[in-house]
Structure 1
Amino acid sequence: MIRTVLGDIAPETLGVTDSHDHLFFASRKLPGQELDDAGAAEAELRAFADAGGQALAQWTPMGLNRRAEDLPDLSRSTGVHLVAATGLHQAAHYRPELLPLLLDGLADRFVAELTEGLRRDADPDGPPLPARAGLIKIAGDFHHLDTHAETVFEAAAAAHHATGSAIAVHLEGGTHPLGVLAELHGKHRVPASSIILGHLNRFPDPAPHREAAEAGAWLGLDGPSRANHATDWRLFDLLRALTEAGHADRVLLGGDTTSAAARAASGGGPGIPYLLTGIRARVIRDLGADTADAFFRRNPARAFDVEWRR
């Protein structure tokens, strides 16, 4: 089953999916670019639904303005399935006074949000909300894992083993995918099929992408991105190479809207709908309808499918 903010659903009902995006997000690394407008989030979701979108995975983890209390109403009002994240980002994203609190009992926090309910970011030790998380979001660093990441990876692996949940990994600049696999799969025994490697298009080297696919991991490619526009033009080169190598069944695509400037509803765009109106439309044209169905429907239904253990 797939765990959404409105409850568990059968994988075949997930539908056309944005596998990596953000409706709400706020970070010390992006001052003044907070995603904190519920009306704009609803407008983005409605436009996404109008373009044929049926599901979206929000990768915003604990402590970064998830607005978890608003997600169920957004899902109901737009008809879009929402998969929410527990997890923890790089240390630099957090207020210094908040991070020690979140790190205390971290694996138990992850498990509780996956099985009992998300907590409000303003009250991380408060009562659970009705909505539960459906994935664990964590982060590596540029070409390595720092000590913070190693701590978070260990907690994420423990939570995976307790619940079966997928682990979605922010790769800084798209780097270190095989090192992340070695840490989670080799060291902590998380099945590669439960690991989603995000931002791979930001480091467009097809060799490690193929190796990660051969190991059984999910390959997350996202964009377009104002922050990473220099590699946007390589996206379709990578998708074509993966498809020709027989790995279309490991690819997930997302918009990764992380700032107000990237949101169509608040001005800059191109926003969440462009994943379907631009990227998906070109996938159909260049790689075929069946490949598009794999990227946007069949693969997400498998990647987020979990036999929940609690």
Structure 2
Amino acid sequence: MIQTVLGKIRPEELGICSVHEHLSIDLSRIKKDPDTILDDEPGMLEELRDFRREGGRAMVEVTNDGMGRDVLRLKRLSEQSGVHIIACTGFYKDPFIPEYAQNWSAGQFAAHFIKEAKEGIDGTGILPGVIGEVGTSKNEIKPIERELLIGAALAGRETGLPVTTHTTLGTLGYEQVQLLTAHGLPANQIIIGHQDLNPNFAEVLSVLETGVYIDFDTIGKVNYRPDEERVDFLLEFIKRGFEEQILLSADLTRKSHWKKHGGPGYGLVLRDFIPRLKEQGVSQETIDQFLIANPARAFSVKERS
């Protein structure tokens, strides 16, 4: 089953899923930029309804404590939009980890995530469907980030929840996999984020070869990398037989990303990127794997004996 903010659903109910998004977020404490505050709930609903018109049926909302998580808001948005929303337990990376958790050990992180997974988030009774987005810094795993990732692995092992990560500019994906699997988390429970930001083909390939899922989840952010390069990498990965491990999303985090403010909105992958793949000869079957079948597997909670 897949855990959404409205309860459990069967994997086949998920539909087309955007696997790494933010609807309600506030990064301004660190970024000092009001553009990084998404707090307009009517606007969120409008954007979600647009996503649904483009064919989207589900969204994984990876905003955690320290980033402005609001699961009651997510529940309202899901009820009103008809979009399945998966919420998360977790912490982001240094320096976004809340003050109360900045000196925690892996065991403390794990205990916190397990408690939320079993009892609900912030006393709401709403259960998370994923642990994430837990992350590392650019080309560096800081001591607190190491404890955080180990804690996520231990909690994932205990609860069966998938673990989805943040890699800064796509770096250290392979090292994240090694750390998570060394602490008992199976590869099929791991989703390594932002791999489309890494221009080093061999590094991204090495992540795929471990058997984990990877996110191409900053589609449309051409200030980091042209989408043509994302397409080229995907074509090569398909040729090598990795199509069952790839997930797609846009990772919108700013007011300026929303359609109402002149941005592309959450439907951009479906509206703009999928046609590019089709133009390059990618089959509908493979596209359905990226958008439907792979997310349904990746976010199914693994049974624990």
Aligned to 1:45: 48
User: 2:8 is paired with a residue of what secondary structure?
Assistant: strand
TM-score (norm 1): 0.91
Of the three residues 269, 275, 289, the one matched with 2:269 is 275
- The residue type paired with residue 171 of structure 2 is T
- The residue type paired with residue 142 of structure 2 is D
User: 1:8 is paired with a residue of what secondary structure?
Assistant: strand
User: 1:297 is paired with a residue of what secondary structure?
Assistant: helix
Q: Deviations over 1:36-63 (max 9, x none)?
A: 1111111111000011110000111112
- Measure, in 2, the Cα distance between the counterparts of 1:285 and 1:117: 44
- Measure, in 2, the Cα distance between the counterparts of 1:284 and 1:171: 28
- Measure, in 2, the Cα distance between the counterparts of 1:298 and 1:32: 37
Give the Å deviation of 1:207: 1.7
Aligned to 1:77: 80
Aligned to 2:23: 23
Give the Å deviation of 1:233: 3.4
Give the Å deviation of 1:101: 8.6
- Measure, in 1, the Cα distance between the counterparts of 2:104 and 2:65: 8
Alignment of 1:116-265 (within 5 A): 116-119=119-122, 128-137=123-132, 138-185=134-181, 187-226=182-221, 228-265=223-260
Q: Deviations over 1:259-297 (max 9, x none)?
A: 1111213x1311211121111232333312111101000
Instruction: Give % identity.
Output: 31
Give the Å deviation of 1:158: 1.4
What RMSD over aligned residues (CA atoms) do the two structures have, in Å? Answer: 2.0
Q: Deviations over 1:126-168 (max 9, x none)?
A: xx21321000110011122110111101211111111011110
Alignment of 1:49-128 (within 5 A): 49-94=52-97, 97-100=99-102, 105-119=108-122, 128=123
CA contact (8 A) 1:261 1:268 kept: yes
Give the Å deviation of 1:108: 1.7
CA contact (8 A) 1:226 1:262 kept: no
User: 2:116 is paired with a residue of what secondary structure?
Assistant: helix
Question: 1:94/1:228 Cα in 2 relative to 1: closer, same or farther (>3 Å)?
Answer: farther
- The residue type paired with residue 284 of structure 1 is K
Is 1:9–2:9 an aligned residue pair? yes
Question: 1:281/1:113 Cα in 2 relative to 1: closer, same or farther (>3 Å)?
Answer: farther
Of the three residues 257, 264, 278, the one matched with 1:284 is 278
Question: Where does structure 2 lack aligned partners over 5 or more consecutive residues?
Answer: none
CA contact (8 A) 2:220 2:268 kept: no
Give the Å deviation of 1:195: 0.7
- Measure, in 2, the Cα distance between the counterparts of 1:81 and 1:210: 31
Question: 1:102/1:147 Cα in 2 relative to 1: closer, same or farther (>3 Å)?
Answer: closer
- Measure, in 2, the Cα distance between the counterparts of 1:222 and 1:178: 17
- The residue type paired with residue 219 of structure 1 is I
Give the Å deviation of 1:226: 4.4
- Measure, in 1, the Cα distance between the counterparts of 2:225 and 2:13: 36
- Measure, in 2, the Cα distance between the counterparts of 1:158 and 1:249: 25
Give the Å deviation of 1:183: 0.7
- The residue type paired with residue 9 of structure 1 is I
User: 2:151 is paired with a residue of what secondary structure?
Assistant: helix
Give the Å deviation of 1:29: 3.5
Question: Where does structure 1 lack aligned partners over 5 or more consecutive residues?
Answer: 120-127
- Measure, in 2, the Cα distance between the counterparts of 1:114 and 1:231: 38
CA contact (8 A) 1:225 1:262 kept: no
Give the Å deviation of 1:230: 3.1
- The residue type paired with residue 206 of structure 2 is E
Question: 1:278/1:306 Cα in 2 relative to 1: closer, same or farther (>3 Å)?
Answer: same
- Measure, in 1, the Cα distance between the counterparts of 2:125 and 2:277: 37
User: 2:214 is paired with a residue of what secondary structure?
Assistant: strand
Which runs of structure 1 show a deviation greater than 6 angstroms over 4 or more consecutive aligned residues? 101-104
Q: Deviations over 1:93-146 (max 9, x none)?
A: 256x45449879322221122221111xxxxxxxx2132100011001112211
Question: 1:276/1:102 Cα in 2 relative to 1: closer, same or farther (>3 Å)?
Answer: farther
- Measure, in 2, the Cα distance between the counterparts of 1:8 and 1:228: 37
CA contact (8 A) 1:136 1:167 kept: yes
- Measure, in 1, the Cα distance between the counterparts of 2:224 and 2:103: 35
Deviates more, 1:77-86 or 1:200-209: 200-209
